[in-house]
Amino acid sequence: MKDRFNLYRFASPATFYPLAGKMIPWFAAAAVVFGAAGLWLGMLVAPTDFQQGEGYRIIFIHVPASWMSMFIYLVMAFWAAIGLAFNTRLSGMMTQALAPTGALMAFLSLWTGALWGKPMWGTWWVWDARLTSELILLFLYIGYLALTAAIDDVRRADKAGALLLLVGVVNIPIIYFSVQWWNTLHQGSSVNLAKSSMAVTMLWGMLLMALCFWMYSIAIALARVRTIMLERERHADWARAELAGKQA
Amino acid sequence: MFKIILAVVGRDLKLAMRRQADIVSALFFFIIVVSLFPLGVGPEPDLLRTLAPGVLWVAALLATMLSLPRLFADDYRDGTLEQLALAPHPLGLIVTGKVIAHWLCSGLPLALIAPVLGVQFDLSAEALIVLTGTILLGTPALSGIGAIGAALTLGLRGGGVLLSLLVLPLYIPVLIFGAGAVDATVSGLGGEGHLSLLAALTFASLGFAPWASAAALKIALE
Amino acid sequence: MLEADNLECVRGERRLFAGLGFRLAAGELLYLQGRNGSGKTSLLRMLLGLLPPEHGEIRWHGQPIRKLADDYRADLCYLGHLNAIKEELTPLENLLAAARLADEDLSEDDAIDALEQVGLAGREDLACKYLSQGQKRRVALARLVKEKRPLWILDEPFVALDIAAVDWLAGLISGHLQRGGLAVMTTHQPVSIAAGTVRELRLG
């Protein structure tokens, strides 16, 4: 069974732990670099929008956060499927490590959306299809975190959480579609998110910020997964050696 | 295949008939919640007519939630769930039976009482028929999706609250299409589109949810 | 024939056992012994197919039980420490419902006869919630009376039974082994089973 397939070896905590440790500084540094460049482009270089003034600049946070919140859920569902299919220990740890970041991104997206909405639309919240879907996504993250926190047995928590993620990912398109449908029926769609053609610098700024969020998410998830690994495997030889080394 | 589903439905219905209080209290919960709304928002018929589909549907969601925690918990506590899992049939079929029984004891009574409550909200005869139809058509999906949540939270502390947290977001499409069909009828747009989507949701969740619940039950029984 | 091969069980952070194996042929009884927490219940749950082993495999007539699934469970009868009876139903209804769910043919007369054998004559139609703990246990045991399935897995079947009932149950198990059945059971108290070969497996 062991060493039959390279992925298994890679997915074993004893190999993954030091590897992740080596990768974290790189991703963190990349996040800082991309973030600095993105903010510089977005805040200083990009032209003021002739309709929305300076307030629009919050989209350099808002849009990447929304993308990440959706993408992280997909990544978690992917790990969940791997975990249920191959029973790998790493999968549960990865979903556990990603979930708080995903929830944070969803929250950030809603919060910045509200901050943007107040000056633009004159209201903190509109029942727009995207906002509503994002809110539901936040609920799904919170549901996952609450479920796994309520189960004491780690393996059961991982499996139940994985199942919930898969059920959620099947439902997301349905929820999104239904909210869209509901929205077009109810609202005269007074709000239109589609903007006039975006300046090239804005696009670059957005792209760099998106990369920054990516790198940040990867770095923080790896750091969290290392902590989870140590906690769960504290009786394994490699983890004991690691902990002993830290204390010395 | 149908034999085992029927056996489970029969058993669960017999059990439910011996504890009718549970069915009746969920039903009264539904009636009370719906009746509270006019007291909260005022008795203007126009306002009530607008609110009615949403109020009835949200109350139906909550009333369904009320009976969900016990869907598997009783069987889990007395050991019958183990015996069901060890029966020589796929667990998904057995759960299908339990979901059908749950619907007969929760969704069906709600649908039967809904027109009476709709009258309180001054709905037209046509809207009442559509309302009853959507609740009949949509509540099986609620029982099915709810079964997944009930199975995932089986035996956990704070299971009931957690169950609502997991299940209510997944109920949103049913709510939208269910209430939307009545809305569309009231406003003269015709609710056929909503109804067919609602039917699709119900069939999809009845096909899919029991197997997901069965997987969750197996995790809980390990 | 029931075979277990190189089983490993990890619960939480503890490895309860590893490299465990046995073979059990027709007419044989396996006693699982061991102190509390040694993994008896976990092993039973593995044999039931509810708990997948960390490593190793369990085979029934040479086929892995995971693959047999329904076919394996059709040969399996389990009596747990929970009674698995419904308080709202009468003993008779409980027996008939259990048989229906397990796809067994159990006539009403057979069920009444089984209840008579466990000393519940005259209580067939009383809801189980009115029975005493001991009587409820007997309702659970009554399932075994007409049981024809070849593999019995029993978790502490003798607990809370009086001496006469222990003898009666031992006789029932002997009869099962004589008919070529297999049985696996956990127990704290040694009970003499007259027929069949008795094997012991000590955990921990």
Q: pLDDT tens digits for A143-194?
A: 999 999 999 888 889 999 999 999 999 888 888 888 887 877 665 444 445 5
* Residue predicted with more confidence, A57 or B153: B153
Average pLDDT in the B16-33 region?
A: 92
Instruction: Calculate how close chain A gets to B21, using CA atoms only, in Å.
Output: 30
Tokens linked to C135? 């009587």
Neighbours of chain A (3+ CB pairs under 8 A): B, C
Chain B partners within 8 Å of A174 (Cβ): 173, 201
Contact C55 A235 (CB under 8 A): no
pLDDT at B209 over 50: yes
Contact C12 A235 (CB under 8 A): no
Rounded to the nearest integer, the mean pLDDT of chain C is 88
| CB hemisphere CA count around C28 (13 angstroms) | 14
The pLDDT tens digits for A86-103 are 888 889 999 999 999 999
Strand order in the sheet with C2-11: C14-24, C2-11, C55-60, C63-64
Q: Tell me which residue in B7, B15, B88 faces C70 most closely, judged by beta carbons.
A: B88
Average pLDDT in the C138-160 region?
A: 90
Model's pTM, two decimal places? 0.89
Average pLDDT in the A126-136 region?
A: 83
pLDDT at B146 over 70: yes
What is the C-alpha to C-alpha distance for residues A232 and A93, in angstroms, rounded to an integer?
9
Any C CB within 8 A of B218 CB: yes
Any A CB within 8 A of B186 CB: no
Q: What pLDDT score was predicted for residue A3?
A: 42
Chain C partners within 8 Å of A1 (Cβ): 55
Domain C1-75+150-204 has CATH 3.50.50.60: no
Contact C71 B82 (CB under 8 A): no
Q: What is the ipTM of this complex?
A: 0.91
Any C CB within 8 A of B197 CB: no
DSSP string, chain C: -EEEEEEEEEETTEEEEEEEEEEE-TTEEEEEE--TTSSHHHHHHHHHTSS--SEEEEEETTEEHHHHTHHHHTTEEEE-SS----TTS-HHHHHHHHHHHTT----HHHHHHHHHHTT-TT-TTS-GGGS-HHHHHHHHHHHHHT---SEEEEESTTTT--HHHHHHHHHHHHHHHHTT-EEEEE-SS-----SSEEEEEE--
pLDDT at A248 over 90: no
User: How would residue B55 be classed by pLDDT, with cut points 50, 70 and 90?
Assistant: very high
Any C CB within 8 A of B2 CB: no
Query: How far is the CA of B134 from the CAs of B58, B62, B179, C76, in angstroms?
Result: 13, 16, 8, 44
pLDDT at A4 over 50: no
Domain residue spans of chain C: 1-75+150-204, 84-148
If interface means Cβ-Cβ distance under 8 Å, which residues of chain A face chain C? 1, 153-154, 234-235
Q: What pLDDT score was predicted for residue B115?
A: 93
User: How would residue A2 be classed by pLDDT, with cut points 50, 70 and 90?
Assistant: very low
What is the C-alpha to C-alpha distance for residues C24 and A211, in angstroms, rounded to an integer?
61
Contact B79 C86 (CB under 8 A): no
Q: What pLDDT score was predicted for residue C164?
A: 86
> CA A52, A57, A63: angle at the middle one, nearest 5?
110
Q: What pLDDT score was predicted for residue A197?
A: 54
Query: How far is the CA of A142 from the CAs of A61, B158, C183, in angstroms?
Result: 22, 15, 47
Between chain B and chain C, how many beta carbons pairs sit less than 8 Å apart? 74
